[in-house]
Amino acid sequence: MTFAAITTAGAEMTDSQAAASYIADGCLADSPVGRVGLELEAHCHDPADPHRRPGWAEIGEVLAGLPDLPGGSRITVEPGGAVELSGPPADGVVGAIEGMRRDQSVLRSAFADAGLGLVFLGADPLRPPKRINPGARYRAMEEFFASSRSGDAGSAMMTSTASIQVNLDAGPRAGWAARVRLAHALGPTMIAIAANSPMLRGEFTGWASTRQWVWGQMDSARCGPVLGASGDEPGTDWARYALKAPVMLVHAPDAAAVTHWVPFADWVDGRVLLGDRRPTVADLEYHLTTLFPPVRPRQWLEIRYLDSVPDEFWPAVVFTLTALLDNPAAADIAAEAVEPVATAWDTAARVGLRDRRLYAAANKCVAVAAELAPPELRESMQWLLDAVERCRCPGDDFSDQVIQHGIAPTVARLAQGGL
């Protein structure tokens, strides 16, 4: 989602104070709310052999034959072969959803014609982690994680997880602190609502959102929430977070992993030199792209905590999150509803709506959003309302099918567009 460019310079930065000012000053853009950008990821499977991971060239051949997508989405391939649609910012959530639906339909048809399918789950339930994307960035990321205590989680995160990302305007400057606090506070409730990853590596994990569990195993300095003690200064919180986070990659000239712990502050202050130099602004901006908190400020708010979910659910999930943040009355109600579970990230991932506090918050939030839903989203919203009221998340339907039919047949059916 592109809103505005931050200019870069090749000169080395002087110290961490300069870096902090640069980060804080540029992380959010003063604007009205209303624009919405969506990113949807799906695992690529072969319905004839769900255990097989289609290769890089095989997926690339499908994408090479695609026409321009009607909704204007860009297509990228994640390290493990998951395919991502990244839609342009639209004026309103309905336009963003409609554009993504059109692009999703074209993409699905192209993969079906090639004998492949797209599976919308938060975690690959069947195949072991394996990187197929040969890009230098991902090779270096793999090396970085392998050298850290997050090796297994890093591999699973890169190659076995898929999400829905919702990008929203930062809004007027006077409301930034409250908006960022609410975006974080909604996280556990929305994770419970959208939980759709009960399996990994062919086994039930005991977690409603295994994707969130994987992210929770990562280094919190890189993947934990940004929010500071008060949350009153989002720019300062982000600057502090970014400077404490270890450097993952340095261009030399291709991406090279930094396999020892070097906080960015140590590099910019000259306590450690990487590539025999201090970082440039370009290095700082690249460092920011290697940080993966659940809410990331990129001039807009990049909300990253939702599992990938099927067609019946994702429009309603997206609308609910957007309405609760962009509609002032709904935001006030949501803030009160989720306050008791605002930091219950692990509980939400583990038990989802079976936690009574998350269940209450979810029902309140979805009901508020449903009252605001336009006619074209009422069917999807009703799916979500009914599911939440029955204390069911999307992954429960998947689990039922796996128990009844087996995991490989269930994945094959999903890859063919059914359940």
Q: What is the pLDDT of residues 46-89, one digit of tens each?
A: 999 999 999 999 999 999 999 999 999 999 999 999 999 999 99
For the segment 353-359, the average pLDDT, to the nearest whole number, is 98
SS3 388: helix
Q: Regarding predicted confidence, which is higher, 235 or 7?
A: 235
Predicted local confidence at residue 253, as pLDDT = 82
Nearest CA among 146, 134, 37 for reference residue 84: 37
Q: Which of 18-27, 30-39, 248-257, 392-401 has the lowest mean pLDDT?
A: 248-257
Statement: residue 133 has pLDDT above 50:
yes
Predicted local confidence at residue 229, as pLDDT: 64
* 3-state SS class at 184: helix
DSSP letter assigned to residue 286: H
Give backbone dihedrals phi and psi of 217, rounded to 5 degrees, phi first: -85, -10
User: What is the DSSP secondary-structure string of 26-69?
Assistant: HSB----S-EEEEEEEEEEE-TT-TT----HHHHHHHHHT----
Give the confidence band of 228 by pLDDT, cuts at 50, 70, 90. Answer: confident
Q: What is the pLDDT of residue 5?
A: 35
The stretch 359-366 carries a mean pLDDT of: 98
Q: Hey, is 12 helix, strand or coil?
A: strand
Read off the pLDDT of residues 271-306 as tens digits, 9 standing for 90 and up: 999 989 999 999 999 999 999 999 999 999 999 999
Per-residue pLDDT, 4 = 35
Q: How many CB atoms lie within 10 A of CB 418?
A: 10
> What does the DSSP assignment read for 91-126?
ESHHHHHHHHHHHHHHHHHHHHHTT-EEE--SB-SS
Closest CA to 181 of 345, 291, 295, 346: 295
pLDDT of residue 343: 96
The rounded mean pLDDT for the chain is 95
308 Cβ neighbours under 8 A, 6+ residues apart: 40, 41, 42, 120, 121, 122, 162, 163, 164, 196, 314
The confidence score (pLDDT) of residue 148 equals 85
Which domains does the chain carry? 16-416 (3.30.590.20)
Query: In the chain, pLDDT over 70 holds for what percent of residues?
Result: 97
Look at residue 231 and tell me whether its pLDDT is greater than 50.
yes
pLDDT category of residue 227 using cuts at 50, 70 and 90:
confident
pLDDT value, residue 9: 52
pLDDT at 419: 57
> Over the stretch 198-215, which tens digit does the pLDDT of each residue have?
999 999 999 999 999 999
pLDDT at 254: 84
Q: How far apart are CA 250 and CA 239, in angstroms?
A: 19
Q: pLDDT tens for residues 37-51?
A: 999 999 999 999 999
Per-residue pLDDT at 381 exceeds 70: yes
Over residues 382-408, mean pLDDT: 97
pLDDT at 2 over 80: no
Whole-number Å distance between alpha carbons of 68 and 402: 36
Residue 411 CB partners (closer than 8 Å, separation 6+): 45, 50, 119, 125, 126
